Chains A and B, each alone.
Chain A
Amino acid sequence: MSSATAAASAAQRPSAGAAALKDAVLTALIALGLFAPIVGLRTDVSPTGGLMLRQRWGDVAILVGLAFAGRLALLAWRAMRDGPKPASAGRAAALRKAGAFVTPVMLVLAVALPFVPGTGRYELDLGILVLTYVMLGWGLNIVVGLAGLLDLGYVAFYAVGAYAYALLATTFGLSFWICLPLAGILAAFWGVLLGFPVLRLRGDYLAIVTLAFGEIIRIVLTNWVSLTNGPNGITSIPRPTFFGLTFSAGGGPGSFADFFGIEPSPTHRVVFLYYLILALALLTNWVSIRLRRQPLGRAWEALREDEIACRALGINVTTTKLTAFALGAMFAGFAGSFFATRQGFISPESFTFIESAIILAIVVLGGMGSQIGIAIAALVMIGGFEVFRDLDEYRMLVFGGAMVLIMVARPRGLVGSRTPTVALGERKTIGAEHVAEGRG
């Protein structure tokens, strides 16, 4: 629909309206075809054990009506939008200016959150959850956003980190601070192990192999009962300590509260965990930002842009990909051991494909390669998911629908542009249309 149509005279309105109406009726008919069999006829197990049908035509009518109204509203909105547009260049500049403030403001908010009045246990737990995903998003961004390698099995490394910590801590009694680097190294090692044979595969072949790897890890964790306790998971994983000081609820000698002479409170541990994940996430961020401005990170981006040209410049494509893969895996390993120590309990159920999909969605929705975009995407997706807690069984439905909607509205993510890593003169932002997204 061109702007000419929208700006048409009032005399032509009725015909445009009629067309929209026809379109909406058609939509309603399709909705009827979609919903009548599946919503209208509900199969239930009858007392005799067989299946019987329950009819729900009222629900179908509501859904069809919604489809009709929704289509009409969409058409009306499109007609309005196609009218005179506000100066988009000015708006973009304003947005960029606002963007410069977003990062520091968010950082300050993140640091101050535990002291903001009204922040209770629930808010902190949510903050920890969001930050875990921010960290995972930043970690995966190294692989997908910078190096352009499509990894659908990122959760495998998260699982490796979690199980590495849980097993090392429960079997050998090692402390969190020793296990954390070990878990990261182990995850990176698995990244290299997987990456070495498969990184010469391109695009979707790499995607399915990484997905398969994620599933393999999960299946092994489920079935290797003697090591992992199978589907029942590992319980009573030691909690982290603050330089050897424990966070026991009752205080007591050697506890955090006792050492600092304050009233023991269960909040201390939550606050400590909150700052722990914040620090880990910021470490991930610091390493990726720094590496991006250096030869290794530049080589990753070059790899995403054109692999063949990289080879012609003497860049060892395989090792460069491997470093991205291993580094991404390492941060997932850190996040995994944090997850294990926070929960105190892990089982294979926490490491399903949907986790990988959510992390990937955060990276893509954030705008690949943009650190702040990913943080916002994680906040919106994970925080939003919490906000809609009351929707119960409709929650995942809304979640999936939101993923589709955001992608359709902003295919390049929230921040699709790229900032150059170095400049002779002024650093100019590079529009999303120029930036490649890799084929590997």
Chain B
Amino acid sequence: MAEPILEAGALTMRFGGLTAVDAVSFTAMRGDITAIIGPNGAGKTTMFNCITGFYRPTGGALRLFRDGTPVDLHRLPGHRIARAGVARTFQNIRLFPGMTALENLLVAQHVTLMAATGFGIGALLGAPGYRRAEKAAIAKARHWLEATGLVDRADDPAAALPYGQQRRLEIARAMCTDPLLLCLDEPAAGLNPRESEELSALLRSIRDGGCSLLLIEHDMGVVMRISDRVVVLDHGRKIADGTPAEVRADARVIAAYLGEGDEE
């Protein structure tokens, strides 16, 4: 049936004596929304940083399947991972605050645009190829601004947007890199119920557009509503892996996590 998009094999990350992620293996399927959940300190963000290239894993393998061919993410330098097709957002929003929303989205298309400019020189001299590329880039940016409901704020600096809009802009910016896999670090944190409902709809529409999603989330409502598959971590180990319904019924998960407090 479905083919995998990302495969983690015995992924391990150690900081000195501390093992934050301990031989975790899981597979995310193409076209799925895969959620990683777990109590605080379970190693979710660490694993995330390994996948998106901010940490180099101590051991194990990470494979991204790009048109069926595997790409070894754990061997790539940081910026190459994004080019391989993995985009991410940050738990503490990291926009370019002094640049407008539109500019933020154009920076995201840097790699494509640079290639079209003849690495800067063509664009400097006003080559026509660059104009076309820029027009296309602005069109794509406009598409994502519309999809995230930010088209009215396109010319405002990112820092001036309210929190919820900044979250959406960050997702739009990640999508402008044309990712195969979009990784979201707590996208619903700090959103009110209506906003997180809108977020769920946005994420579903991104999935339906053909992009696979991987998300860390604390908001169980969002996780249960939109995930196709849930991976549960505790103390750096995987303790469960399955559909939301399966995970919800899993005794170990309840013991480790859900049972300890509904508000988590």
Question: Which residues of A does B touch, CB under 8 Å?
Answer: 287, 290-291, 294-296, 298-299, 301-302, 305-306, 308-317, 323, 418, 420-428, 430-431, 434-436
Contacts and interface: CB of A to CB of B under 8 A. Distances in A.
Nearest to A301: B99
A308 B107 contact: no
B94 A308 contact: yes
A312 B117 contact: no
A308 to B, nearest CB: 6
Interface of chain B, main secondary structure: helix
B110 interface: yes
Contacts of A313: 82, 87, 107-108, 110, 173-174, 177
Contact of B103 (A287, A422, A431): A422
A64 B113 CA distance: 63
A323 B100 CA distance: 23
A209 to B, nearest CB: 23
Contacts of B54: 308, 311-312
Pairs of residues from A and B, 4 with the lowest C-beta to C-beta distance, nearest first? A314-B82, A435-B98, A305-B96, A295-B113
A424 B99 contact: no
A305 B98 CA distance: 7
A309 B105 CA distance: 12
B94 to A, nearest CB: 4
Contacts of A423: 100, 102, 154-155
Interface in B156-197: 156-160, 173-174, 177
B106 interface: yes
B117 A426 contact: no
Nearest to A286: B124
B107 A314 contact: no
Contact of B154 (A323, A425, A431, A434): A425
B38 to A, nearest CB: 23
B111 A315 contact: yes
A422 B106 CA distance: 9
Contact of B155 (A291, A296, A314, A427): A427
A298 B105 CA distance: 11
Contact of A428 (B78, B97, B156): B156
Interface string B135-162: 0001000100100000100111111100
Interface residues of B, number: 48
Nearest to A315: B110
Contacts of B80: 314
Contact of B110 (A291, A314, A436): A314
B123 A312 contact: no
Contacts of B159: 434
Contacts of A436: 96-98
Interface in B181-227: none
Nearest to B130: A294
Nearest to A299: B110
A290 B124 contact: yes
A309 B95 contact: yes
A314 B106 contact: no
Nearest to B114: A295
A302 B123 contact: no
Given A296-B114, A302-B110, 19 more contacts: A290-B123, A295-B123, A299-B110, A306-B95, A308-B90, A311-B82, A312-B54, A313-B87, A313-B107, A313-B177, A314-B110, A323-B120, A420-B100, A420-B103, A421-B103, A422-B106, A428-B100, A430-B157, A434-B98
A306 B173 CA distance: 14
B87 to A, nearest CB: 7
A312 B93 CA distance: 12
A309 B90 contact: yes
Contacts of B78: 311
B12 interface: no
A311 B49 CA distance: 12
Nearest to B85: A314
Contacts of B87: 312-313
Contact of B117 (A294, A420, A424): A294
Given A294-B123, A295-B110, A312-B88, A305 B97 contact: yes
B104 to A, nearest CB: 8
B83 interface: yes
Contact of A315 (B53, B79, B151): B79
B100 A306 contact: no
Contacts of B138: 422, 424
Contacts of B113: 294-295
A296 B88 contact: no
Contact of A305 (B90, B99, B106): B99
B34 interface: no
A222 to B, nearest CB: 37
A391 to B, nearest CB: 39
Contact of A311 (B79, B108, B145, B177): B79
B70 to A, nearest CB: 19
A428 B110 contact: no
A192 to B, nearest CB: 15
A305 B108 CA distance: 14
B52 interface: yes
Interface string B21-55: 00000000000000000000000000000001110
Nearest to A314: B82
Nearest to B108: A313
Contacts of B103: 298, 301, 420-422
A427 B117 CA distance: 24
B94 A306 contact: yes
Nearest to B93: A309
Task: Output the residue of B87, B99, B102, B174 with the most chain A CB within 10 A.
Answer: B99
A294 B113 CA distance: 9
A291 B126 CA distance: 11
